[in-house]
């Protein structure tokens, strides 16, 4: 099992919290950019010819802002250059207000079978505060177009002035319009983003308040039939994101486009974040990789634990032991003993208890060397 990720770095406008590679003013480069992405896919195809891929994730940015034909060509290129399973999970991220019935029809036609909609909040004033360029009505129209489809909705907590009622409304709307999956994130004020000043001025809810919002959201989602399978991800039965599960199982994936990351054969590498540099590399037939780290066995073990403990299924000890020739319970006996009140150890599964999932860093740290 392996995944393909493609980054589309264009947006209508930059959100106030965004620190991703996205270039709202460069949308005119979409055609050249996508051409380069196809070419990058080709450049890697020989090296990855033995890999069987079963997920494709088109993220951004806002992939839905560019012409849908580029997306169709992208899926086609993925099928042409790689062994992408016929029943592969193919996801595209989209923002309300950027899609039409025709667009979605073409997405479906080319094989996209999962959609991720960036709602964030159902409160228009909060959307405006975040610098999002859509409102609740536009989300509703978008959701109606996706009726009957497998789609996910992003929800943010920890917003300025947000109440649990607001979170309730957001989750309820998403659920009522048929979302099968919800990702619920706490706003992270990154240094350098406009929202960071709100944070510095103490205008954002503090950790305790965010924790309370999170616990509220978890409860509400459960009532609506969404099961938590990772600290920030909730799904109806059978609707987990296979692409993301692969990340948390320390699976392999190849990323294309600016800022895309990859994990192939125990090497993690990242493409340039600079659009011009990306063009230059591809046009001169060079891979646009700027960072490359070979993960040694200790690092692999740490990653496996750190990622698995984010999930509800936790760590499969038997798998871990056979993969690394290790004896997990013996090697980590100190960390296990110290954290025994917070861990649920059943047979070959070690997971963080539900009520401690939101304070997992402290626990995970004890498992790092």
Partner 1 sequence: MKKPNKLIRNFCIIAHIDHGKSTLADRLIELTGQVSKRDMEEQLLDSMDIERERGITIKLTPVRMFYDADDGNEYVFNLIDTPGHVDFTYEVSRSLAACEGAILIVDASQGIEAQTLANVYLALENNLEILPVINKIDLPSARPDEAKKEIEEVIGLDASYAPLVSAKEGTNIKEVLEDAVKYFPPPDGDEDAPLKALIFDSYYDNYKGVILFVRLKDGKVRVGDRITTFRSDKVYEVTETGVFAPSLLPKNGLFAGEVGYIAASIKSIQDVAVGDTVINADDRADAPLPGYKHVQPVVFCGIYPLDGSRFNDLKDALLKLQLNDASLVFEPDNSQALGFGFRCGFLGLLHMEIMQERVEREFNLDIITTAPSVSYRVVKTDGESLFVDNPSHLPPVSEIDYMEEPIVKTDIYSPPEYLGQIMDLCRDKRGVFGQMTYLDANRVRLEYKLPLNEIIFDFFDQIKSRTRGYASFDYELAGYERSKLVKLDILLNGEVCDALSMIVHEDSAYARGRMLCENLKDAIPRQLFEIPVQAAIGGKIIARETVKAMRKDVLAKCYGGDITRKKKLLEKQKEGKKRMRSIGSVEVPSEVFMQILKTNKD
Residues that bind partner 1 (CB under 8 A): 5, 185-186, 188, 207-208, 210-212, 214, 231-232, 244, 247-248, 253, 255, 259-263, 268, 270, 291, 293, 299, 302-303, 306-307, 310, 341-342, 356-365, 368
Minimum Å distance from CB 261 to partner 1? Answer: 4
Q: What CA–CA distance (Å, rounded) separates 324 from 326?
A: 5
Q: What CA–CA distance (Å, rounded) separates 129 from 90?
A: 32
For partner 1, give the closer residue by CB, 177 or 253: 253
Minimum Å distance from CB 175 to partner 1? Answer: 21
Q: Which two tokens stand for residue 80?
A: 């042409």
Minimum Å distance from CB 294 to partner 1? Answer: 12
Minimum Å distance from CB 185 to partner 1? Answer: 5
Query: 104: helix, coil or strand?
Result: helix
Helix, strand, coil percent values for the chain (each to nearest 5): 45, 25, 35
DSSP string computed for 107-122:
HHHTT--EEEEEEE-S
- How buried is residue 337: exposed, middle or buried, by Cβ count under 10 Å (0-12/13-18/19+)? exposed
Assess contact for 224 and 194: CB atoms under 8 A. no
For partner 1, give the closer residue by CB, 140 or 211: 211
For partner 1, give the closer residue by CB, 132 or 263: 263
For partner 1, give the closer residue by CB, 76 or 365: 365
- Separation of CA 17 from chain center: 16
For partner 1, give the closer residue by CB, 194 or 251: 251
Minimum Å distance from CB 5 to partner 1? Answer: 6
């Amino acid at each position: 099992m392996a995944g393909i990720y493609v980054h589309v770095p264009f947006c209508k406008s930059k959100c106030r919290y965004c620190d991703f590679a996205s270039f709202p003013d460069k949308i005119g480069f979409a055609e050249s950019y996508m051409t380069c992405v196809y070419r990058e896919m080709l450049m890697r195809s020989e090296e990855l010819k033995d890999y069987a891929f079963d997920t494709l994730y088109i993220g951004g940015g806002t992939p839905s802002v560019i012409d849908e034909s580029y997306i169709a060509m992208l899926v086609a290129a993925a099928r042409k250059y790689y062994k992408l399973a016929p029943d592969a999970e193919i996801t595209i991220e989209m923002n309300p207000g950027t899609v039409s019935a025709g667009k979605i029809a073409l997405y479906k036609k080319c094989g996209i079978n999962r959609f991720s909609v960036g709602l964030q909040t159902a409160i228009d004033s909060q959307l405006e505060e975040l610098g999002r360029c859509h409102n609740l009505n536009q989300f509703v129209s978008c959701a109606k177009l996706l009726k009957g489809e497998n789609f996910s909705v992003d929800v943010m907590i920890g917003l300025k002035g947000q109440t649990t009622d607001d979170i309730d409304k957001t989750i309820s709307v998403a659920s009522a319009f048929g979302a099968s999956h919800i990702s619920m994130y706490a706003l992270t004020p990154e240094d350098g983003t406009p929202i960071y000043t709100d944070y510095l001025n103490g205008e954002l809810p503090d950790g305790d308040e965010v924790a309370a919002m999170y616990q509220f959201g978890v409860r509400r989602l459960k009532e609506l039939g969404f099961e938590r399978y990772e600290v920030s991800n909730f799904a109806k039965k059978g609707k987990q994101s296979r692409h993301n599960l692969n990340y948390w199982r320390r699976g392999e994936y190849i990323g294309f486009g600016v800022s895309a990351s990859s994990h192939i054969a125990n090497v993690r590498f990242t493409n340039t974040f600079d659009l011009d540099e990306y063009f230059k590399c591809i046009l001169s037939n060079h891979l646009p990789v700027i960072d490359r780290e070979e993960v040694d066995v200790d690092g692999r073990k740490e990653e496996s634990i750190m990622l698995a403990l984010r999930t509800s299924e936790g760590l499969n000890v038997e798998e871990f032991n056979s993969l690394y020739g290790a004896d997990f319970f013996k090697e980590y006996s100190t960390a296990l003993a110290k954290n025994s009140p917070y861990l649920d150890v059943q047979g070959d599964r070690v997971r963080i208890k539900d009520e401690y999932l939101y304070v997992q860093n402290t626990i995970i740290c004890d498992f790092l060397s």
